Every structure is written in C-alpha cells, then in structure tokens.
C-alpha cells in the first residue's frame, strides 16, 4: 500500500476510533445494567398462593469481552495503519525536494516537512498567521522617509511641521464720551469700556512623527510568503508520501491484547 493511501485511511478511520472510545466510555458508565442478568424462580407450597412476580429472567445483554472483541476488530485497520505510517516516515523512505519560488531548499524527510507544516499552520504551537496579521503598520496618509536620528534602526519619520505658538492678550480701555462734559453731576456716571486684542508670539515649535512599524505592503507580503511556503510544503508532502508503506510490528492485536487480556 502506498503511504499516501495509508494516510488517507488513517484520517478516515481516526474519527471512527475516537467516536468508539467516547461511546464505550459512556456505555460503561451509564449502561452497566447491560452486563448484568438475573433468574428468579418461585414454587408456592400447597397451602400457599402463587406469586408470579417472584419469578423472572433478565438476560445479560453483552459482556466486557464481547464489547472489546468488537472494539479490536473494528479498529484494527486504524491502529495497524497508524503505526505503519509512523514506521514508514521514520525509515527515511518518505522524502521530497522542497521548492520555494522556483528555488530548491533541499531534500527533506516527511517528518521534517510535517514539522514545518505544523509550524506554519497548526494552532498548538500558536498561530503564525494571526501573529503576522497583527503586525502594526504605519499610516499610508503620511509621507514617510527613513529617519536619520535613530542610527539605522528602521525608524521612519514624516515631514516636520514648523509653527509659532501664539496667544491673545486682552487690554481693557475706556472709550471717550463727548457728552461727559455737559453732565452737571457725574457721580453716577458709568464709563463705557472696550477691549483690545493683541497677538503675542510665545515661541516656535516643531512636530514630527516617528514609526518603527511596517508598511501595509510588508505585512501583506509576509502573509503571502507564509502561505506560499505552506503550499510548497503540502506539495512536497504529497510527493514524499508517494512511496510504499512499511508494516509495523505494533499491531492492534498486540497493543490491545496486552492491555485487555494479558495476565
């Protein structure tokens, strides 16, 4: 059997095996009565009334042995295929050239390719795609140039804004009233006032933004390269798996025969 067929077989049967483990666990916990039986007889004395309710028979629906016999039989293909897959991978027979953007990275075993695929795509090691998607990017609305103040740290700056900080000073003064000289009593007179605004320069200022972020293009290209590498790995794995599988001595009968029946 080719390794790629073996892989498809294990992927298909994995769900069945996992489901049977779950179902058996539930059955052993919730349906213990299925393993129990009972026989009751009753013969009344000549002077007594018969009591049919004292007689009965409950059959044993199944046994532990029967359940596990069926379990081993149904999952033998999966267990045998699983360990055959591992032995084939470990033998070094499964290998392929990894080609990225037309360039060869070298010849790698299926184990190396699987690990690289897991690094790029699996969530159990953390999502690399999510990490790349979260990279901060600087605003395209600004005209950024490499900063000369940060010693080649890949810091960028926008155009410096120069300006003058100003304030307005208000000065109150009394308006001249030509009628004031005609008043006989000016004790209750309220003069009319006004204010004069004067612009005062307080200082010069500059403002400039700096950024150590990536551009949108940089982030998009990193995500693209991750996807391109993943596609190349999947392609190489298909080529690596196009080889004959090697049977393993770790069979279903050996594993479960020991766990369930060894004395």
- For residues 228 and 101, the answer to whether their CB atoms sit within 8 Å is yes
- My answer on whether 6 and 82 are in the same domain is yes
> How confident is the model over 31-77, as pLDDT tens digits?
999 999 989 999 988 888 999 999 999 999 999 999 999 999 999 99
Q: In the structure, what pLDDT confidence band is assigned to residue 183 with cuts at 50, 70 and 90? A: confident
- My answer on whether 247 and 206 are in the same domain is no
Rounded to whole angstroms, the Cα distance separating 250 from 128 reads 35
- My answer on whether 2 and 78 are in the same domain is yes
> How confident is the model over 74-102, as pLDDT tens digits?
999 999 999 999 999 889 899 999 999 99
Q: Give the domain range for residue 161.
A: 145-175+191-211
Class of residue 237 by CB neighbours under 10 A (exposed 0-12, middle 13-18, buried 19+)? buried
pLDDT of residue 123: 79
> How confident is the model over 213-263, as pLDDT tens digits?
999 999 999 999 999 999 999 999 999 999 999 999 999 999 999 999 876
Entry pTM: 0.72
Domain-located, residue 73: yes
> How confident is the model over 160-173, as pLDDT tens digits?
999 999 999 999 88
- My answer on whether 151 and 66 are in the same domain is no
Percent of the chain residues topping a pLDDT of 70: 97
Domain-located, residue 46: no
Domain-located, residue 90: yes
**Structural domain count of the chain:** 2
Secondary structure of the chain: what % helix, strand, coil (to 5)?
45, 20, 35
Domain-located, residue 81: yes
Domain-located, residue 88: yes
How many other C-beta atoms can be found within 10 angstroms of the C-beta atom of residue 7?
A: 20
Domain-located, residue 134: no
The answer to which of 16-20, 79-83, 204-208 has the lowest mean pLDDT is 204-208
Domain-located, residue 101: no
The answer to which of 21-30, 132-141, 145-154, 176-185 has the lowest mean pLDDT is 176-185
pLDDT of residue 31: 93
Domain-located, residue 130: no
- My answer on whether 23 and 63 are in the same domain is yes
| pLDDT of 11 over the 80 cut | yes
> How confident is the model over 187-204, as pLDDT tens digits?
677 788 889 999 988 898
């Amino acid at each position: 059997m080719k390794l790629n067929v073996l892989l498809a077989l294990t992927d298909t049967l994995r769900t069945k095996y996992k489901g049977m483990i779950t179902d058996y666990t539930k059955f052993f916990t919730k349906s213990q009565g299925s393993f129990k039986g009972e026989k009751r007889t009753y013969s009344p004395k000549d002077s007594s009334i018969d009591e049919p309710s004292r007689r009965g028979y409950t059959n044993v629906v199944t046994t532990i042995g029967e359940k596990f016999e069926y379990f081993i039989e149904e999952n033998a293909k999966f267990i045998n295929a699983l360990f055959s897959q591992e032995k084939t991978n470990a033998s070094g027979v499964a290998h392929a050239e990894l080609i990225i953007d037309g360039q060869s990275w070298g010849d790698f075993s299926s184990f190396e390719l699987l690990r690289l695929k897991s690094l790029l795509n699996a969530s159990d090691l953390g999502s690399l795609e999510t990490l790349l998607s979260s990279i901060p990017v600087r605003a395209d609305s600004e005209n950024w140039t490499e900063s000369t103040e940060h010693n080649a740290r890949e810091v960028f700056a926008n155009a410096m804004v120069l300006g003058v900080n100003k304030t307005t000073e208000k000065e109150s003064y009394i308006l001249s009233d030509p009628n004031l000289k005609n008043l006989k009593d000016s004790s209750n007179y309220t003069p009319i006032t006004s204010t004069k605004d004067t612009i005062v320069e307080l200082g010069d200022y500059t403002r400039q933004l700096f950024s150590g972020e990536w551009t949108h293009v940089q982030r998009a290209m990193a995500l693209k390269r991750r996807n391109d590498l993943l596609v190349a790995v999947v392609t190489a794995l298909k080529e690596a798996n196009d080889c004959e599988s090697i049977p393993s001595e770790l069979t279903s009968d050996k594993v479960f025969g020991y766990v369930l029946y060894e004395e």
